[in-house]
Structure 1
């Protein structure tokens, strides 16, 4: 009998054995990530923080995240002209997680990703298991993240070692379609009213690997 799919975000196991309903997501976007990212000019993180405070957003404590990305032994994630998938192991003090992500329309303004993420009790054991299965290390991203919540959008201010400062906006509310989620994300960013610098359509691994796509 096929295994049940892992839930995308952290959550309590359903005592009935079924996958938990994703809080704040309708089934149409349950495993879909809709986000936008910008490279912040020097000191503009302070301007974003000030504006978020003014708008009444709430912030979590900063957290250092070590994200170890791995390649696939059977299909090279780096081989295509455009990288469209990752396997990631995240280590942080408040809890580790495993993540698989596959992008749709990568490099475009309406890009979104299918994403499966689940908390892991012993991340090192899982990582060693994947290495034993032949998954080779690809790149490690070391960043400090401060996460803010503004209505149905999560804003992450990231300081990435060897890459700089960035801000990510991720839609976390209920939406019938990906297009609707993008529209509501665009409105939140516009209402912020802060010069966010250059829009970035590639992940931190792309940047550290020197990949444009």
Structure 2
């Protein structure tokens, strides 16, 4: 597995971030819609162990991902995970295979992502049902510099997952706890990206 090192920045102005990335010479692969299913055992033992088992659909492609805490202690200002990721040929067949092994969908989530390469980092402009975030993936040396170049406030940075941020948002709004976060029909109508069918 490879190590994934990242930080998220909350309350981002994605339009302004796009302008700064363009002005700074960043390269983008465009915007796209993502649909994600997170699997676990009935006892939620993967969650307890800090392991993510995810099947993602993006741009007509299925991607299977496993994330887990790194072996050994790593002191970092970034969120560090071991990650194994691969494309799979058939989303429905992969889902059926996971369910045949005893896993079931724990929750689902959606986002619109715009991915950039900038200053040695991968910068993702993420629009979620509950807010906009910038996620920067790189190294201990490159992420802070990239964030500073984009004018991001270190006080808005977080190591939290989008799952945790959704639950925090719902609690802050006085809403019932709900692990899934998908766009409402009204929100979908306002998205300017193609929403493909799985």
Q: TM-score, normalised by structure 1?
A: 0.70
More strand, by proportion = 2
Within the alignment, does 1:144 sit opposite 2:112 as a pair?
Answer: yes
Within the alignment, does 1:32 sit opposite 2:18 as a pair?
Answer: no
1:100-151 Cα shifts (integer Å, max 9, x gaps)? 0013479x73330000000111021011111122112111111010111114
Deviation at 1:74, TM superposition (A): 6.8
Superposed, which structure 2 residues align to 1:46-61 within 5 Å?
46-61=15-30
Superposed, which structure 2 residues align to 1:173-184 within 5 Å?
181-184=139-142
Superposed, which structure 2 residues align to 1:128-167 within 5 Å?
128-161=96-129, 163-167=130-134
Match of 1:116 among 63, 84, 95: 84
Deviation at 1:197, TM superposition (A): 6.3
Judged with a 3 Å threshold, the aligned counterparts in structure 2 of structure 1 residues 45 and 167 are, in CA distance, closer, same or farther, namely same
1:37-74 Cα shifts (integer Å, max 9, x gaps)? 11124xx1111111111101112221100010011357
More helix, by proportion = 2
Within the alignment, does 1:103 sit opposite 2:69 as a pair?
Answer: yes
- 2:41 aligned partner: 72
1:13-38 Cα shifts (integer Å, max 9, x gaps)? xxxxxxxxxxxxxxxxx611011111
**Unaligned ranges ≥5, structure 1:** 1-29, 172-180
Judged with a 3 Å threshold, the aligned counterparts in structure 2 of structure 1 residues 88 and 151 are, in CA distance, closer, same or farther, namely same
Please give the alpha-carbon distance, in whole angstroms, between the structure 2 residues aligned to 1:33 and 1:121: 24
Superposed, which structure 2 residues align to 1:80-91 within 5 Å?
84-91=50-57
Q: CA RMSD in A?
A: 2.7
- 2:143 aligned partner: 185
State the secondary structure of the residue aligned to 2:143: helix
Within the alignment, does 1:63 sit opposite 2:28 as a pair?
Answer: no
Per mean C-alpha deviation after superposition, the further-off stretch among 190-199 and 113-122 is 190-199
**Unaligned ranges ≥5, structure 2:** 172-198
Q: TM-score, normalised by structure 2?
A: 0.75
Cα contact 1:39–1:165 (8 A) shared by 2:
yes
